[in-house]
Each structure stands twice: as structure tokens, then as C-alpha cells.
Amino acid sequence: MVLNQRLKNRSARRRGIYILPNIFTTLSLFFGFYAILAAVNGRFPQAAWSILLAALCDGLDGTVARMTHTTSEFGVEYDSLCDLVSFGVAPAITIYLWALTPASLAVLDPHHQRLGTAAAFIFLACGALRLARFNVLEGVRDPGFFQGLPIPGGAVMVAAVVLWHDRFGSPPLTPNGPAVLALTLLLAVLMVSSLDYFSHKNKALFRNRKPFETLVAVVLLLGLIIVKIKSVLLPLGFLYLASGPLVTVVRARRRRSPVPGGIRPAEFDGIEDQTLK
């Protein structure tokens, strides 16, 4: 009896832990939904903040699931569905209503006035394709790298642009429609590209000989982002966008270069070297 009761208690705790990561996933969905409502009502900075909060919750759900060993097929599928809303639909609607309406792009498209609609939809469609490819290649890709810009990264860039303009734009705070159109299409292309972007799971990012100094630098960087998020988030986002081509070139050269002993550094090794290239 005692053993059975202990097993039941352990099972109950297990189910409780299993629920925890999905709570963060649901919070991510909520903030994505709220971002849509805020954008529809013309509160674009609030929509941007909501997208950032959705990205924070999205990062926490996976971390919690791995720490508590509660990853599951249900969680993976639920996370993808929520990501499509929070990082696909929400930023597409936000960027369209903010800077891609016919009035904003009249100088480029005075007759048909459909460029903004097309760009927002392309962003959404490429985000959906990016999620589908991520799920299909889950078992064969190198977890240390993303293939293509991750969809939360594209959504965060949209939020960063809105917050940057809210910080530095001058009255009447009219965004530059053509520039935003170009950025939207660039993000869409990067999401479905084959460029390699560092993942937060990459061990090379945390393997160094000065862990204390690195920790201090990370804390200072996080403090700067929190205090000056409207000012620094967009430049940091562009640096991450630019890192994709650079990392791709470096990895390609390392694969081609002969290494003594035939062993490559672990952070640049992965199954996808044979399956995705």
C-alpha cells in the first residue's frame, strides 16, 4: 500500500511538472493574441512589448521542459501552433497596420496598393514554412545551430523596429514604409534560408577559459538591454542577422579544411553536416 501510494504521489508530481512548460507556452500564446488586439487598436508599442513577452515565455517553456525532463510530442506540437500565432500572425498584423498600409506605401504602389499586404503575408507564410522545416528536421539537425533565422527572431526584429521608432521617431511618428517593407521581406527570406544561426543550445557559446568574466559581461549586457531596450534591441538584432552569413562561411571552411587526426571541433560538428547540406 505504501509503495502504491508513493508511486501515485510521484505520478501526480510528474503530471504537475508536465503542465508547467505548457503554462509558459500558453502565456506566449496569450501575449501573441494581445499583441494582435493592441495592433488592431493602433497601440503599436504595446503590441511590440507583447511580442517580446511572448518570446520570453517561449524561451522559458523549452528551458523548463528540459530541466524537468518533461518534453513530449504534445508539447512540441502545441509550441509550434502557439509560435505561429505569436511570432507569425501577431508580427505580420502589427507590421502591416503600422507601416505597410496603402497610405504608407503610396509612393511605391499608387495604383494597386497591395505591396504591404503581400509583404505581410510573405512574412507569415515563411514563418510557417520555417516552423514546419524545424519540426521535420528535429531529429537530424545539429541542436547547436538554427537552419535559417528562427521565427521568434523575426518577430523580435519587428518589435524592435516599432520600439526604435517609438523612441527616436519625430512627430507625427510616421514610419518609413518602403524601408519597413524591405526589412519585412528580408526577414522572410532569412527565415527560409539555409544560413546557420547560433542556437542558445550551442555549447561553444558557454565554453571558455574565463567563465566569471563572461558571466559579468553577460550580466552587464542584460542590464544594458533592460535599461535601454528601445535603443539597443534593434542594433543587437541586426548584429544577429549579420551573424548568419558569417557563421555559415566559417562552418563551410572548417568542413573543407583538413584537421590533424581527422577530428573537428565539437561545436561545429553535427548530423546535419551530412543531411542538410
Query: Per residue in 149-188, pLDDT tens?
Result: 999 999 999 999 999 998 886 555 678 888 999 999 999 9
Least confident segment among 76-80, 164-168, 208-212, 231-235? 208-212
pLDDT given for residue 159 in this prediction: 97
Grid cell listed for 79: 509550441
**Residue 232 CB partners (closer than 8 Å, separation 6+):** 224, 225
Q: Where are the domains of the chain?
A: 2-275
**Residue 129 CB partners (closer than 8 Å, separation 6+):** 191, 192
- Give the model confidence (pLDDT) of 95-111 as tens digits: 999 999 888 887 776 65
pLDDT given for residue 272 in this prediction: 41
3-state secondary structure of 162: helix
Q: Specify whether the CB–CB gap between 154 and 131 falls below 8 A.
A: no
Domain 2-275 has what CATH class?
Answer: mainly alpha
- Give the model confidence (pLDDT) of 14-38 as tens digits: 444 468 888 999 999 999 999 999 9
- 161 vs 69, higher pLDDT: 161
pLDDT given for residue 171 in this prediction: 55
Query: Nearest CA to 222 among 232, 237, 209, 208?
Result: 232
Find the helix packing angle between 2-40 and 73-84, rounded to 10°: 10
pLDDT given for residue 204 in this prediction: 59
Q: Specify whether the CB–CB gap between 198 and 243 falls below 8 A.
A: yes
**Distance from C-alpha of 109 to C-alpha of 228, rounded to nearest angstrom:** 36
**Phi, psi dihedral angles at 246 (to 5 degrees):** -65, -45
pLDDT given for residue 270 in this prediction: 45
Residue 267 pLDDT greater than 70, yes or no: no
Model pTM score: 0.80
pLDDT given for residue 41 in this prediction: 96
pLDDT given for residue 163 in this prediction: 94
